[in-house]
Every structure is written in C-alpha cells, then in structure tokens.
Amino acid sequence: MLIHNVRVESDEDSILDVFASMGASIQILGPKIAHSEVVGDLSVKGSSLKGGVIAGEQIPLVIDELPMLAALGPYTEEGIEIRDAAELRVKESDRIAALAENLRRMGASVEERTDGLKVQGRNAGKLHGAEIRAAWRSPHRYGVCRCGSGRGWQHHNSRRGLCRSFFPHIFSGMHRLVER
C-alpha cells in the first residue's frame, strides 16, 4: 500500500519507530518539503508483527496512537503491552477502560492495569464483529480506532458521525482496503 504526502519529520514519526520495532515493513519514499514540513510517501508491505511493550519515554510521543496500537495486539505474535499511560484514565474519560471493554467485545484477550493494558497476541484468538459502544465523552480517535480494528469496523459504532467528522471518508476507505 502506498500512502501519499505523510508528514515524516516530527514527534509524529515516532509511531513509525514503534512499527519498525515490531517488524513492520515501512519505507519513506521521496521526502520533500511541503508547507515548511517534511513529507513523503509511505510504502507499507504486509509483514508479521511481533508486538512488544510500549512504555516510558515512548508514551508521550505516541499517546494519541495508543488505542490503535492496542487494537493491533491480536494481530501480533507477542501481543501489545502499554505501560506508564495512567493519564489515559483522566481528561475526557477513562480511555483505558473504554478501550479494554471494546476490544473484549470484539473477542480480544485484554488485561487492564492501572497504568495501561496488555492485549494478547494472535494465539489468543481472532477478533470478530461486535457492537462497539463509545462513551459520550470518548474522543473521536477512539471511535476511529475501533472502526479500523479488524472486522469490527463494519459493525455498529455509536459514534459513526463523529468518526466521519474526523475522517470524512473513513468507511469508504476501509471498504477499499478490505477489497485489496
């Protein structure tokens, strides 16, 4: 898959470092300056992800991506463990509890902890479609994460409008990815 014009020089590229540490096959092609930022095309090839621990200094760099990383857990060899992220229990809502609940609804094996969670890897079973419930105060990225985690995206999401406001073409984009 080729994703065009992604900002690649900032704290936001830390997610690429996390993916690389798990064994993802991602290359940055044709980096260039656009609107005073370095952007490039990401070439992503299918690969087996080993999973791992996300903790300490990594947490603030990927705080917004933690729900998506947790949702990857069931597709990895070792699962995903998130530590040192207790701040996700305050602010809009208890985002750790909401994430754990919805991953469990889809069949993930999740151990909730005070400062994070552990999502078991692929040997714990496959995800399945489920009714996904987003707390009214749950941020849009959590709805988007749940839409994008395996087969669960095609099932009911009580925040579809919120997902669309964040990413207007999310559902048509997900259909195109699945077709490939």
Q: pTM (2 decimals)?
A: 0.74
pLDDT tens digits for range 88-147: 888 778 889 989 998 999 999 999 999 999 999 999 988 888 877 665 444 545 455 545
Q: How far apart are CA 81 and CA 2, in angstroms?
A: 28
Are 154 and 169 part of one and the same domain? yes
Are 56 and 23 part of one and the same domain? no
Q: Are 72 and 97 in contact (CB under 8 A)?
A: no
pLDDT tens digits for range 76-95: 999 999 999 999 888 778 88
Are 66 and 105 part of one and the same domain? yes
Owning domain of residue 15:
1-47
Q: Which of 41, 64, 84, 115 is catalytic?
A: 64
Q: State yes or no: is 84 an active-site residue.
A: no
CATH code at position 130: 3.65.10.10
**Phi, then psi, of 70 in degrees rounded to 5:** -60, -40
Are 68 and 97 part of one and the same domain? yes
Residue 163: helix, strand or coil by DSSP?
helix
